[in-house]
Structure 1
Amino acid sequence: MSIRNLDALFTPSSIALIGASNRPSSVGAVLAKNLYEGGFKGPVMTVNPHETAIRSTLNYRSVADLPIAPDLAVICTPPNTVVALVSELGERGCRAAVVITAGFGEGNHAEGQALKQAMLDAARPYQMRIVGPNCLGIMAPHAGINASFAHLAAPPGNIAFVTQSGAVATSVLDWAVNRGIGFSHMSSLGAMSDVDFGDMLYYLALDPNTHAILLYVEAVSEARKFLSAARMASRNKPVVVVKAGRSDAGAKAALSHTGAMAGADAVYDAAFRRAGMLRVKTLDELFQAVGTLASGTRVKGDRLAVLTNGGGIGVLAVDELAEGNGQLATLSPATLAHLDTRLPATWSHGNPVDILGDAPGERYVVALEALIEAGDADAILVINCPTAVADSFEAAKTVINTLHGRHLPVLSCWLGEAAGAQARRLFADRRLPFYDTPEQAVQAFGHLWHHHRNQELLMETPPAVTDLPEDAPAKANAIIDTVLAENREVLTEPEASALLAAFGVPVVPARQARDGEEAARCSDELGYPAVVKVLSKDISHKSDVGGVKIDLTSREAVRQATDDMLARVRQSHPEARIEGVNVQPMIRRPGAFELILGVAEDPIFGPVMLFGQGGTGVEVIGDRVIGLPPLNPLLAQDMVQRTRISRLLEGYRDRPAADIEAIVLALVKLSQLVACLPRVVSLDINPLLADASGVIALDARIVVRVASKPRAPMTIRPYPRELEQDIVTQTGQRYRLRPIRPEDENALVEMLKRSDRSDIRLRFFAAIKRFDHAFAARLTQLDYEREMAFVAQPQGATSILGAVHLIAEPNHERAEFAVMVRSDMKQSGLGYCLMQAMLDHARRMGITWVEGEVMLENAAMRRMAKELGFKEQALEHGSDSVCLLLKLDQDAQASPKAVMAGAPDASDVDVRR
């Protein structure tokens, strides 16, 4: 349901408190006090069957007695009364309720769970939204709303805080109020029976009073909605999250290295990173991070220069930097030489730049100017330790004056409770980031760098990836059909290799043999030395049972090794079905790296992918990262770079660098496999050998599941290849119509450059002359869960001739659209075909209303919209635009005749976000 009626929570016209009380210190009394004293301008009505007045205000005995229907209800009555109250409030027209009451299935008690479902069922007919149950309540300080039983009221500000824990909410509130931090919203979601993090992120992403969003997360529900909302919010404003429960005692999967190594927290970490959010570890760090990001300070790299008057303090900063917060910048010889001429001979001659304890303000200026002009660092941390021979406040003033008009990010740390207080106030007055300790300052730099990197991955244009062979899914599904038909779930190694090969992952050729003699004949064909592996549908890890023999250099060696292995395994595992052995050529790649690539199923986020150092000690080494599919080359490369082994893959000493592009491509191909084959629930490639000549999978293990037990869907909807189609215009021209991809950025910009300026103005309501990356990324990098764009291309070509864009509201009731064809393609009927495709997709999404805004002068668009059934609605008086509105018939589908029919093309209709 998402943001529908959330305005009733935070900007209601009236509020009712059900369960208000005069009993001191009761929840009902505290709620009444907070609501009355919050400053809300509308009526606050109380309901209690036993009271005449609450806090000297007339009380009502029942919901039916209320003089008007409340927009928002706050309920703190016993749990067995809540269902009937929700139903009664819904009938009166109430649009939202905050249920404070506990007792709705906490701890998975069946009776409480049933009560919770009954409450939701009662609210559903009225589209009434529920916050809670078992929550502290909500606050919207800008609207004067304190619908909580917190001990303090949140002052107005521009930070939104959303939490599952009421205790955390009150603790954060106490912490923030004492530091003068204000809030646009504070929401305690409790059990999240209805309104959850996804709903709140959608709402806050568009809220003008919210400049940054803080989350305290214990668990996520509806992961796809959460990620979609988080990606939307992160593009608009900083989103910082602290996640409770960071241990690695997550879900284990007995059949999969990947499942055993993923761990719940690692998956959450991957999800937050993929959404462009910044994750921190503690509540204190949460506010520190949002303060840093809200200051407007931004960095574009991870190199930090440290300028200090105390060597030991500089070393502490470097130690903290080594904890994953960035790297110490290397000062160029020219920079060092310049500093040598301006600083005392005993300065540190490196980074940290220690300018000695007696440094006056002028010495700070000299060093700071040199570091800024050199450009060796992405940011500078300036530290001052109080001494008896230098004035800390004077140093602060000179640093601030030096920074005037400069753009390089500079963080400051003036130590000393008394000595540094005046300087810190000065930095605060100038809105420059300052910190109490060097560790905090370096952490803040890490926040800036990690947030930049996450945003970069969210917005960066990936290179194009070679499409899969058309027959890849069919080949793979035939293998899976055979396995499931035999009541098996685990593919044999030959089956796994064939499936991987269908998707373009390099594998070792193999033959199956029933005994030693047959294995010897196979090795004659494949060559020596040879590898023999036991072939059994009942043995998961062959090396654990002595089922692998390598480096067999002769026919006799292969025969003997095979017979001995089969006899030994049959004796040690008599229950196992032994089908023979798998024979492969021995792959000799001296110096190759052993890697692991994997897929596992997370109960919340669905399929996840793993990359790291492989081999038999993979769990012990623990060098791995988790990512969410689908992957593009940039995301895959980021996964590789976040492992420890990535530094070795770059080459060292006499060991050449591995082919990183081949590793990245293998990850992307595996991601495509996940998207195409929902019956694959886990997969390990271990090891994947990687060296300068490329990669090859030596061993693979794949587990599948019948379609009647579907795998959890991918959290991020993959590219919808099934929507690709051919269209024919009225002139008989055939074009390829497909969903847009991020790598279409250059082609889309080229289409815009080749269009008339008048058409550009009609499309974007402005005379745009420059189409930069941020502009183009907004049009090409879509969340297919809530928006879609189709592009039209000539058959077999990459140029774009036209595009149509559809953006749905989070509740999928309404959607806005935009369409444009290249200027030289007008009057061809292409725009009509694009509109038909867009309307068909809107029906598939369950959209009820499609609308768009068009300039009055765009007569061609208005004529075409009329033919398609759109009605025009006037906007505000004097507007130069009208709104086009169409209610969709969900049973209607575009006929071939309609797709091919001609109509005047429109240049544009705008989407106002």
Structure 2
Amino acid sequence: MSIRNLDALFSPTTIALIGASNRPGSVGAVLARNLFDAGFEGPILTVNPRERAIRSALNYHTVSELPLAPDLAIIATPPDTVPGLIRELGERGCRAAVVITAGFGEGEHADGQVLKQAMLDAAKPYLMRIVGPNCLGVLAPHRGINASFAHIMPQKGNVAFVTQSGAVATSILDWASARGVGFSHVVSLGSMSDVDFGDMLDYLALDPKTHSILLYVEAITEARKFLSAARKASRNKPVVVVKAGRSDAGAKAALSHTGALAGADAVYDAAFRRAGMLRVNTLDELFQAAGTLATGIHVKGDRLAILTNGGGIGVLAVDELAEMQGRLAELSEATLARLDSVLPPTWSHANPVDILGDAPGERYTSALEALLNEKEADAILVMNCPTAVADSLDAAQAVVDTLGSQRPAVLTCWLGEGAPAKARHLFAAQKIPTYETPEQAIRAFWHLSSYWRNQQTLMETPPPISTDGTIDKASANAIIDQVLKDERNVLTEPEASAILSAYGIPTVPAIAVHTPEEASEAATQLGFPVVLKILSRDISHKSDSGGVQLNLASPGAVAQAAEDMLATLRQVAPEARLDGFNVQPMIRRPGAHELILGVAEDSVFGPIIMFGQGGTAVELIGDRVVGLPPLNPLLAQEMIQATRISRLLRGYRDRPAADLEAISLTLIKLSQLISDLDRVVELDINPLLADATGVIALDARIVVRADREGRPPFAIRPYPQQLEQTIETRIGQHYSLRPIRPEDEGALVDMLRHSTSDDVRLRFFAAIRRFDHAFAARLTQIDYDREMAFIAMPQGKQEIVGVVRLSADPDKEKAEFAIMVRSDMKGTGLGYRLMQQMIDYARENGLQQVFADVLRENHAMREMAKEFGFVVQSTKDEADTVMIVLNL
């Protein structure tokens, strides 16, 4: 349901507490105390059947007695009473509830699950939103709301914290209170029966008081909604997440390597990375990230300058920076000269800038001023260790005075316990990030740098995909049809290779035979040496069962190897059905790397793709990365670079670099394969040989299913190729119409540049003269789940002459549209045809209303909208814009 009625959670006019109590120490009493003491300016109504007053406020015995309809209800009553209370509150007009009570199916207890469904059923007719059950509650300090049983009311701030764990929420509140960190919202989601992480990200992405978002995640529900919301939020503000349960114990048993190796945590990691979120590993890191983000500083790179009064702590910081793969800034000659002029002759003359243990505040000021002007430094870490000959507080005050009201990317680290305590309080009061150890400070810098890098990746424009052949989807489906007709779900190696070939992935030619004699003849036909493999629908990994023999150099050797295989398999796998042998030429590519590529399904995030170092020891090596399809060249390259073997693939010593473009293209083809062939469950290519000449798949395994509906959906909706079409305008002109792609950025900018400044102003409500990458990326890198943009191109040309765009709200009920036709194409009827396309698409996707803000002077747009049945909503006469609305 997403953000509908979430305003009632955080901006209610009236709050009701059901289950309020005067009994000391009870949850009802703590909730009442927190609500009344938080500073909420509206009415707080309490309900308890046995009390006359709660905290000196008149109490009501039932919901029906309440004199006002509450926007928000807090419920802390026995679980069997909750469904009825929800229904009664909904009838009164209540729009949101926080259910503190536990007992709704935690641990999959059947009775609780029935109660939870009854609660949701009671809320549904009234579109009532529910946080919980089994949660700590919600806090909105800017509105004076503490609807929780937390022990602390946080300060007002700009950090939002959303967690599934109430214990983690109270821990971070305690940590923040000691450090002066404030929050815009703190939300304990509990069992997430209704409101989940996706809903909160959608809401907080648009909240002006929230500048950064922290998440404590145990599990994600509705992956597509979560990723859509996370990508949207991450483009606007930092989103930091810590995920509980990092071990591979959750990996499912699977027939393929990919299914077995792609543990749950690796998939979550891929999802967080794809959404542009910053993942940290521990609560300590999350707390540190909270403090860093609360200061509001940003960095634009990974180059760090270090200013210190101790050489040893400077070295520790450099070591940690190297461990994090960050870089020391190279100080310019101008900066070195300025430092020389203000520092003692014995300073370090390099980065780290060691200004010596006797450095007073004035020396910190002089050095920091020089470094602030250094363009080669993306951030500055200022450190201090206590000495008997200098005052740590004096040094801290010098840093504060030097920065003044500015907030450049400066972090501080004052080491020790007693001596630097006042300095840290001074930094905290000025919202200058401060840390107790060099390791903490470097990690904080890396968080900021990683967030910047994530934003760059999120907005990067991929190059066009170059394929080296056409995809034969029909042939691949025909193979799967035959396999399922044979009542099998595992393809033989020849069948799997044929499907790879249908998608342009190079494979080894092979001949399938039934007997050792036929294997010998096939080997002679192919030429020696050859590889012999067993064919069996019951053996997943042939080499583990003695089912692979390499480098056979004669007919006799092939026949003998086949006989030996049969004998071995009768011992190790007596129940396995033997279908024969597969004979292939022995591929000799000295120096080639063995890789593994695969596809599997995750129960939460749907189809996933794995890449890493392959071979028979793939499980032991453990060098792999998981990505979410669909892939483009940039995402494929990012997957490759995330592995250790990528360093070898780039070449070393006398070994040339492998064809990285061919590896990347193979990953993209796998992404297309899994998008096209919805009956493929698992797929392995192991090994894929890669060297300077290209790639070739030596072995492949594919598992399929008969039920097309059994596959979980893609977490990120693939490019909707089925929407590509040819359209005709009213005057008979034909155009190619398709959804926009990220690589259309250049063509879109070209269209805007070839339009008049007046037409651009009418479209964007501003006189835009510079169409930079960030501007264009937001128009071309869209979420096909909530957004759609169709581009019109003259047939046979790669130029855009018209665009219509639709952006739905998270509830997918209403959508805002925008349309533009290149200036020289106006009056051809293209705008009318694009408008019709937009309306048809909106109807087909269940939208109830489309609307747009239009400049009052844009008479052509208003006239066209009128022809389609749009009406103008009432607006102020002096307003520059009007809203046009079409109910579908």
Which of the five TM-score ranges fits, normalised by the shorter chain? over 0.9
In structure 1, the partner of 2:720 is 720
1:610 aligns with 2:610: yes
Q: Is the 8 A contact 1:309 1:383 kept in 2?
A: yes
Q: CA deviation at 1:82?
A: 1.0
Q: CA deviation at 1:418?
A: 4.5
Distance 2:133 2:404 in 1: 51
- 1:191-270 to structure 2, matched below 5 A, reads 191-270=191-270
Q: Is the 8 A contact 1:75 1:98 kept in 2?
A: yes
CA deviation profile, 1:389-431 (whole Å, cap 9, x unmatched): 4454555566667778999844332323444345545655665
- 1:727-738 to structure 2, matched below 5 A, reads 727-738=727-738
Distance 1:71 1:682 in 2: 48
Q: Is the 8 A contact 1:238 1:290 kept in 2?
A: no
Q: Is the 8 A contact 2:414 2:424 kept in 1?
A: yes
Amino acid at match of 2:549: K
Relative to structure 1, is the Cα distance of residues 522 and 764 closer, same or farther in structure 2, using a 3 angstrom cutoff?
same
Amino acid at match of 2:654: D
Q: CA deviation at 1:753?
A: 0.4
Q: Is the 8 A contact 2:295 2:431 kept in 1?
A: yes
Relative to structure 1, is the Cα distance of residues 335 and 557 closer, same or farther in structure 2, using a 3 angstrom cutoff?
farther
In structure 2, the partner of 1:833 is 833
Distance 2:193 2:252 in 1: 27
In structure 2, the partner of 1:54 is 54
1:84 aligns with 2:71: no
CA deviation profile, 1:276-332 (whole Å, cap 9, x unmatched): 111112333223213323434333433434443323222322332344352455779
In structure 2, the partner of 1:549 is 549
Q: Is the 8 A contact 2:179 2:428 kept in 1?
A: no
1:95 aligns with 2:95: yes
Q: CA deviation at 1:849?
A: 0.8
Relative to structure 1, is the Cα distance of residues 158 and 376 closer, same or farther in structure 2, using a 3 angstrom cutoff?
closer
Larger deviation, residues 348-357 vs 837-846: 348-357
Distance 1:725 1:543 in 2: 48
In structure 2, the partner of 1:501 is 501
CA deviation profile, 1:355-403 (whole Å, cap 9, x unmatched): 5434566766776677677755543433222223445455556666777
Relative to structure 1, is the Cα distance of residues 401 and 7 closer, same or farther in structure 2, using a 3 angstrom cutoff?
closer
Amino acid at match of 2:548: V
% same residue: 71
In structure 2, the partner of 1:44 is 44
Distance 1:872 1:734 in 2: 32
Unmatched segments (≥5 aa) in structure 2: none
**In structure 1, the residue corresponding to 2:108 is in which secondary structure?**
coil
In structure 1, the partner of 2:819 is 819
Amino acid at match of 1:388: A
Q: Is the 8 A contact 2:102 2:134 kept in 1?
A: yes
Q: CA deviation at 1:763?
A: 0.1
- 1:603-642 to structure 2, matched below 5 A, reads 603-642=603-642
**In structure 2, the residue corresponding to 1:833 is in which secondary structure?**
helix
**In structure 1, the residue corresponding to 2:249 is in which secondary structure?**
coil
Larger deviation, residues 285-294 vs 831-840: 285-294
Q: CA deviation at 1:455?
A: 1.6
Q: Is the 8 A contact 2:610 2:626 kept in 1?
A: yes
Relative to structure 1, is the Cα distance of residues 66 and 433 closer, same or farther in structure 2, using a 3 angstrom cutoff?
closer
1:413 aligns with 2:413: yes
Distance 1:115 1:281 in 2: 35
Amino acid at match of 1:226: F
Q: Is the 8 A contact 1:729 1:828 kept in 2?
A: yes
Q: CA deviation at 1:828?
A: 1.0
**In structure 2, the residue corresponding to 1:279 is in which secondary structure?**
strand
CA deviation profile, 1:57-82 (whole Å, cap 9, x unmatched): 22222222222222111111111111
| TM-score after normalising by structure 2 | 0.95
**In structure 2, the residue corresponding to 1:381 is in which secondary structure?**
strand
Relative to structure 1, is the Cα distance of residues 399 and 694 closer, same or farther in structure 2, using a 3 angstrom cutoff?
farther
CA deviation profile, 1:704-744 (whole Å, cap 9, x unmatched): 11225511111111111111111011121111111111111
Q: Is the 8 A contact 2:69 2:94 kept in 1?
A: yes
Relative to structure 1, is the Cα distance of residues 329 and 562 closer, same or farther in structure 2, using a 3 angstrom cutoff?
farther
Larger deviation, residues 578-587 vs 805-814: 578-587
Distance 1:489 1:452 in 2: 45
Distance 1:16 1:396 in 2: 48
CA deviation profile, 1:570-614 (whole Å, cap 9, x unmatched): 454332121111111211111111111122211111112211111
Q: CA deviation at 1:53?
A: 2.2
Distance 1:738 1:553 in 2: 54
Relative to structure 1, is the Cα distance of residues 406 and 638 closer, same or farther in structure 2, using a 3 angstrom cutoff?
farther
Distance 1:708 1:668 in 2: 22
Q: Is the 8 A contact 1:325 1:442 kept in 2?
A: no
CA deviation profile, 1:248-273 (whole Å, cap 9, x unmatched): 21223331212222211121111111
**In structure 2, the residue corresponding to 1:874 is in which secondary structure?**
coil
Q: How many residues align?
A: 888
Distance 2:202 2:742 in 1: 22
- 1:664-675 to structure 2, matched below 5 A, reads 664-675=664-675
Q: CA deviation at 1:875?
A: 2.4
Relative to structure 1, is the Cα distance of residues 210 and 342 closer, same or farther in structure 2, using a 3 angstrom cutoff?
closer
**In structure 1, the residue corresponding to 2:827 is in which secondary structure?**
coil
Distance 1:236 1:9 in 2: 22
Q: CA deviation at 1:111?
A: 0.7
In structure 2, the partner of 1:315 is 315
CA deviation profile, 1:730-776 (whole Å, cap 9, x unmatched): 12111111111111111101100000111000000000000111111
1:739 aligns with 2:750: no
In structure 2, the partner of 1:845 is 845
In structure 1, the partner of 2:286 is 286
- 1:299-698 to structure 2, matched below 5 A, reads 299-324=299-324, 326-328=326-328, 352-359=352-359, 377-392=377-392, 395-396=395-396, 409-421=409-421, 423-424=423-424, 427-428=427-428, 431-466=431-466, 471-698=471-698
**In structure 1, the residue corresponding to 2:73 is in which secondary structure?**
strand
Q: Is the 8 A contact 1:19 1:28 kept in 2?
A: yes
Unmatched segments (≥5 aa) in structure 1: 889-913
**In structure 2, the residue corresponding to 1:811 is in which secondary structure?**
coil
Larger deviation, residues 378-387 vs 762-771: 378-387
In structure 2, the partner of 1:901 is none
Larger deviation, residues 58-67 vs 77-86: 58-67
| TM-score after normalising by structure 1 | 0.92
Q: CA deviation at 1:517?
A: 3.2
Distance 1:552 1:749 in 2: 59
**In structure 1, the residue corresponding to 2:600 is in which secondary structure?**
strand
Distance 1:335 1:593 in 2: 46
Amino acid at match of 2:682: S
Larger deviation, residues 766-775 vs 629-638: 629-638
- 1:755-766 to structure 2, matched below 5 A, reads 755-766=755-766
In structure 1, the partner of 2:151 is 151
Relative to structure 1, is the Cα distance of residues 656 and 378 closer, same or farther in structure 2, using a 3 angstrom cutoff?
farther
